[in-house]
Structure 1
Amino acid sequence: MPTEPLTPQEFRIWHAFKVMGDDVLERVGRDIALSTGLSGPDFGVLSRLADLGNGEMRQQALAESLGWDKSRLSHHLTRMQKKRLVKRREADQRVVLVVLTEEGRAKLDAARPVHAESVRRNLLSRLSNQQIETIVRVSNLLGEEV
């Protein structure tokens, strides 16, 4: 069933939405990388392990929390293991746990203030309270299944 292409107005909205998120994420990720050597995705994995899993999560649950497929996470975890940020261990035949290492926790602790400052500078300080509330409402709306 053929679908009509986006109108110029629809494309402008889509492009603005995509660029807004990509630009802020890139700047925050760059700040973290310059200060700590962690990539944005490294920070995402480490912070989820610490915040959602108390330092340990099933690999499948971690993938779901990041919105990543299993292959992407597996490759990324292999790189993170080489940097001694995480380790993996089998809980049973079908469950792999991802565990935050001491080095990973130290890097995360160093990155958290950089992340907070960067989010404030690159996003929050540039918006009014009303704009922030609108973004939250739109995010909640778009997060619902259709």
Structure 2
Amino acid sequence: MSGKPLSPQELRIWHAFKMMGEDVLERVGRDISDATGLSGADFGVLSRLADLGKGQMRQQVLAQSLGWDKSRLSHHLTRMQQRQLIERQEADQRVVLVVLTKQGKAKLDAARPIHAESIRRNLLARLSQQQIETIVRVSNLLGEDV
């Protein structure tokens, strides 16, 4: 690896890339929060439980799917459990299951149409079909192992 600093153009590209994602995520998260009281992180946890785990997942698998470390997820789940959005159950001594509650499912169901509309308004409606296809190609390229 080179210790050479980024050029001004490289910095502009990096900042544009970061800001694009952060701005859209913040707007979508704010729309969900304003309408339902769920944070973007809450929505991420609940939607993964419902979509990937059919209502429950091992805590470690959930952390991996979110790209979060164990500590961050544990603290967040504690707050969600206090709000009765999820429950944690010990499957055995080393496995903790995170389970979607009825209240969590109801909040998720209320948030899904807001999430979809916000993505349409804050991302898709602002781009041409060609720009969307370019983003998908770039995302696929960057997601490949180097």
Q: Scaled by the length of structure 2, what TM-score is found?
A: 0.98
Q: Does 1:88 align with 2:79?
A: no
Q: Which runs of 5+ in 1 are unaligned?
A: none
Q: Which runs of 5+ in 2 are unaligned?
A: none
Cα offset for 1:2? 5.8
Distance 2:137 2:81 in 1: 38
User: Which AA in structure 2 matches 1:53?
Assistant: G
User: Which AA in structure 1 matches 2:110?
Assistant: A
Q: Scaled by the length of structure 1, what TM-score is found?
A: 0.98
Cα offset for 1:93? 1.1
Distance 1:22 1:11 in 2: 16
Q: Does 1:6 align with 2:6?
A: yes
The sequence identity of aligned pairs, in percent, is 80
Deviation digits for residues 35-92 of structure 1, max 9, x if unmatched?
0000000000000000000000000000000000111000000000010000000111
Match for residue 73 of structure 1? Answer: 73
The alignment's C-alpha RMSD in Å is 0.8
Match for residue 116 of structure 1? Answer: 116
Aligned ranges for residues 14-93 of structure 1 at < 5 Å?
14-93=14-93
- Structure 1 stretches (4+) deviating beyond 4 angstroms? none
User: Which AA in structure 2 matches 1:67?
Assistant: G
Q: How many residue pairs were aligned?
A: 146
Distance 1:137 1:92 in 2: 43
